[in-house]
Homo-oligomer: A and B are copies of this chain.
Amino acid sequence: MTAPLKTIEGSGEIAATMQDIGRQAKAAARVLALASADQKNRALAGMAAAIRAGKSGILSANADDLAEGKTGGLTAAMLDRLTLNDQRVEAMAEGLDVVRGLADPVGKVTESWTRPNGMTIERVKVPLGVVGVIYESRPNVTADAGALTLKAGNAVILRGGSDSHRSSRAIHAALTKGLREANLPEAAISLVPTRDRAAVGMMLQGLDGAIDVLVPRGGKSLVGRVQTEARVPVFAHLEGVCHVYVDKAAALDMAKTIVMNAKLRRTGVCGAAETLLVDRAAAATHLQPLIEMLLDAGCEVRGDAAVQKADARVKPASEADWSTEYLDAIITAGVVDGVDAAIEHIERYGTHHTDAIVTADQQAAEKFLNEVDSAIVLHNASTQFADGGEFGFGAEIGIATGKLHARGPVGVEQLTSFKYRVRGTGQIRP
């Protein structure tokens, strides 16, 4: 078996190690901020090549993680997330190729204007600095997050799950090889070398100001802890209680197609619908077919009184159900009085993630798109489009429901900041 990590003895040594990682990441960030698109792309190409060439080593490290996971009592779902195979390793390398193909946001002038005194002002994209990523068992996050943050000119400190540490280390070694080949500092992508949870606590404190933003990738308890305890900004969403509202002016066929896809295409993704709202004015024609369709497809339906009447298989919805993210083949369903009541319901029970309206009424659609205060609002399309790839961002590091800086799918553009460049000819302020 791959050797387990060197044990870092005592919190003092961990603190020293983590501070050192922070300092080095900060120094690397200055180098990366000035690296050319070409240099970063050479690193990404080298990384993909190293992942492909190192496949057997990565798979063997992963086999060791899996063996330990099985003895350690990981669930089948956790083991599945942890598992790598030929296909998944190739998908990681392809992910690096995709990021390489993205436009480099750094240096992009997003606005420019001339002042009456002749000074020109440009707003130009610059990297954020150092991104901290805390994730769980999926080892591919190592490559995905490393590549995306690099593309935006940031250094990244990766803290992978304990269960996948050998796999992450093997992948990280491939990333390091790519950095080295492109003459970029290895500290551009650091992997925290300890499984001790104290390291996470130190990252949440920001490592003495080294970390500019944290991105948690994983389950609700991880994200919740990071959101509650972090002393630095966080890009994340805790839950996606996503709604589909079927308006009275919805064509039943389209409503069925969208509801089916939004709920059942994949039930475990954050953009999966968790609540179906049907306009009372359409209930007579639309409610029963929608509910039957879901039940027949194996979805449990928890409904209000009206929905319960539509089919005997419907279970009663509790108050808690309206704000529950099932991530499973379960949906809460209710009847509401038109688009205004639907908006009220979503504002009360939703999580400002992704919500959709199905309607042929343009006015109702615009009202919904304007008034629902969610990161993503859709008209006549499935909530499962809540994804950076589906938005055309090429790759995403996650989806954010906060309103500061990043919102919705967080792609390479949102991993940048900006500064103002002012060019004068000797202007002074009167």
Contacts and interface: CB of A to CB of B under 8 A. Distances in A.
Given A407-B419, A420-B391, A261 B385 contact: no
A118 to B, nearest CB: 10
Interface string A348-380: 000000000000000001000111011111111
A30 B370 CA distance: 11
Contacts of A420: 375-377, 391, 407-408
Nearest to A405: B405
Nearest to A107: B370
B424 A115 contact: no
Interface string A257-283: 110111001000000000000000000
A33 B372 CA distance: 11
B126 A404 contact: no
Contacts of A233: 233, 404
A429 interface: yes
A351 B30 CA distance: 15
Given A212-B403, A233-B404, A429 B377 contact: no
A379 B423 contact: yes
A115 B388 CA distance: 12
A154 to B, nearest CB: 10
Given A128-B403, A384-B428, A421 B369 contact: yes
A423 B382 CA distance: 10
B428 A265 contact: yes
A208 interface: no
Contacts of A426: 254, 257-258, 380-381
Contacts of A407: 417-420
Interface in A74-123: 107, 113, 115, 119, 121
